[in-house]
Amino acid sequence: MLAGVRLRPAKRMKEIPPSSTFKVLNLAKELERQGKDIVHMEVGEPDFDTPAHIKRAAEEALARGMTKYTPSAGLPELREAITEHLATKGISTDAKNVIVTPGAKHAIFCTLAATLDPGDEVIIPSPCWTYEAMVRIVGGKPVFIESKQSDEFKVKVEHVQEALTDNTRMILLNYPNNPTGAVMQKKDLQSIIDLAINHDIWILSDEIYDCLVYEGKHVSVMSLPNTAERTIYINGFSKAYAMTGWRLGYAVAPVELIAEINKIQQASTTCAAGFVQAAGVAALRGPQDCVREMRDEYRKRRDVIVNGLNSIDGFECIKPAGAFYAFPRIKKPGISSLDFCEFLLREAGVAAVPGSGFGPYGEGHARFSYATSIQNIQRGLDQMGDTLARR
């Protein structure tokens, strides 16, 4: 307990929710300490190792003495490599529009800090990843709108329209989506972009799962006309190249905003580590078959988990078009997603994340990551099937 009137956390900390995986992870760890075998399907991290040529590039960079600060916006070579890479995705930009950060998460955080004034509203379709905490930390106000399973979890322009107020500063889009796996096609996106243009608001587009699309094709917000002046595009290396622990991501935005984002980076982390950035260059300029191979494997796993969940009385799961999560509806009336996930953990030995951790419209669902082997997925499905059949 903190003593004294001034020895207290900032008032805004009360409004900041802890990470949704926290409770489940802690309980899973406790059960493991007691000797229980847990199938981990809660973590949003590739189980693959970082490809060897990327690791080699970091080793060589270290051997060359790349142990110092780099320019805060990133190594010029990496910023160039990012623009070349984005050109292959139909995004035309310039190295001066790119800032490299330690992880995509930090790119989002710096962007929010650089764009939002206290009380500014950010429209966030939910179920959504952990943007709420970041928006609140910088004094912004999240305004959640529902994306429904019956709409394949795609956000509808009518819902965006209803949420707009004079205080709206930004809409935050994340497709392919964590946790639902939803992917938006061009026609789905265009009406939302038109609305953003008409109301003169920012679009923050987190496209970190863009390389993991199994149905249709990923369309980047930045590849559509008239978006560059109002879009902050976010991507990174964690998911595409299995590099979560390296902490490397980036934002693309108008030059004037990049300068502001860079101030936040300079005041917080200075820069991403130099040898990690060198590895990033190798990732983007090296062979891309590793990305395709991982995607093909995720696709197989997706089919196993979706079919498996739908064969268990207790779940209803639509086929996610992208990312590596299944987000089934829990078909057990009267139980919260948190209680259900706790039950699954204790009784079936399977760790999943309660839907309530993904904004106000995630309740009633659970998120299973299929960034784990087919063998593990099958084991988890068998254990859940047995447990729910006995219930």
Ligand X SMILES: Cc1ncc(COP(=O)(O)O)c(C=O)c1O
Task: Kindly tell me which residue out of 178, 262, 265, 369 binds ligand X, with binding defined by CB under 6 A.
Answer: 178
Smaller CB separation from ligand X, 208 or 228: 208
Smaller CB separation from ligand X, 348 or 371: 371
3-class state of residue 205 by DSSP: strand
Smaller CB separation from ligand X, 103 or 385: 103
Interface with ligand X, residue 355, by CB under 6 A: no
Backbone angles phi, psi at 232, to 5 degrees: -110, 115
Task: Kindly tell me which residue out of 41, 44, 257, 338 binds ligand X, with binding defined by CB under 6 A.
Answer: 44
Q: Which of residues 198-217 bind ligand X (CB under 6 A)?
A: 206, 208
What Å distances lie between residue 380 and 21, 48, 184, 314, 367, CA to CA? 18, 19, 30, 14, 13
Q: Closest distance between ligand X and the C-beta of residue 200, in Å?
A: 25
Taken as a whole, the chain contains a residue count of 391
Interface with ligand X, residue 236, by CB under 6 A: yes
Smaller CB separation from ligand X, 44 or 142: 44
Q: Closest distance between ligand X and the C-beta of residue 225, in Å?
A: 25
Q: Which residues lie below 8 Å from residue 254, measured CB to CB, with a gap of 6+?
A: 97, 228, 229
Interface with ligand X, residue 251, by CB under 6 A: no
Task: Kindly tell me which residue out of 111, 244, 262, 337 binds ligand X, with binding defined by CB under 6 A.
Answer: 244
Query: Among 269, 206, 260, 279, which residue's Cα sits nearest to residue 236?
Result: 206
Which residue's C-beta sits nearest to ligand X?
103
Q: Are 322 and 177 in contact (CB under 8 A)?
A: yes
Smaller CB separation from ligand X, 51 or 103: 103
Interface with ligand X, residue 153, by CB under 6 A: no
Interface with ligand X, residue 105, by CB under 6 A: yes
CB neighbour burial string for 294-316, b if at least 16 within 10 angstroms, e if fewer: bbebbeebbeebbebbeebebbe
Smaller CB separation from ligand X, 100 or 312: 100
Binding mask 58-97 toward ligand X (x if CB under 6 A, else -) reads: ----------------------------------------
How many residues of this chain bind ligand X (CB under 6 A)?
13
Q: Which of residues 112-131 bind ligand X (CB under 6 A)?
A: 129
Q: Stretches 33-41, 100-108, 159-167, 330-338: which one binds ligand X (CB under 6 A)? A: 100-108
Sole residue written with tokens 């259900």: 340
Burial label, 175 (beta-carbon count in 10 A; 0-12, 13-18, 19+)? buried
Q: Closest distance between ligand X and the C-beta of residue 209, in Å?
A: 7
Sheet-wide strand order for 168-173: 98-101, 249-252, 231-236, 202-206, 168-173, 121-126, 141-146
Smaller CB separation from ligand X, 192 or 388: 192
Q: Closest distance between ligand X and the C-beta of residue 260, in Å?
A: 20
What Å distances lie between residue 60 and 20, 134, 288, CA to CA? 38, 35, 20
Interface with ligand X, residue 103, by CB under 6 A: yes
Distance CA 220, CA 214 (A): 15
3-class state of residue 220 by DSSP: coil
Task: Kindly tell me which residue out of 125, 249, 274, 314 binds ligand X, with binding defined by CB under 6 A.
Answer: 249
Q: Closest distance between ligand X and the C-beta of residue 249, in Å?
A: 4
Smaller CB separation from ligand X, 248 or 381: 248
What Å distances lie between residue 301 and 213, 241, 293, 368, 388, CA to CA? 13, 18, 13, 12, 22
Q: Closest distance between ligand X and the C-beta of residue 335, in Å?
A: 26
DSSP 322: B
Q: Which residues lie below 8 Å from residue 44, measured CB to CB, with a gap of 6+?
A: 178, 324, 325, 369, 371
Q: Closest distance between ligand X and the C-beta of residue 88, in Å?
A: 20
Distance CA 93, CA 90 (A): 10
Distance CA 111, CA 237 (A): 18
Residues that bind ligand X (CB under 6 A): 44, 103-105, 129, 174, 178, 206, 208, 236, 238, 244, 249
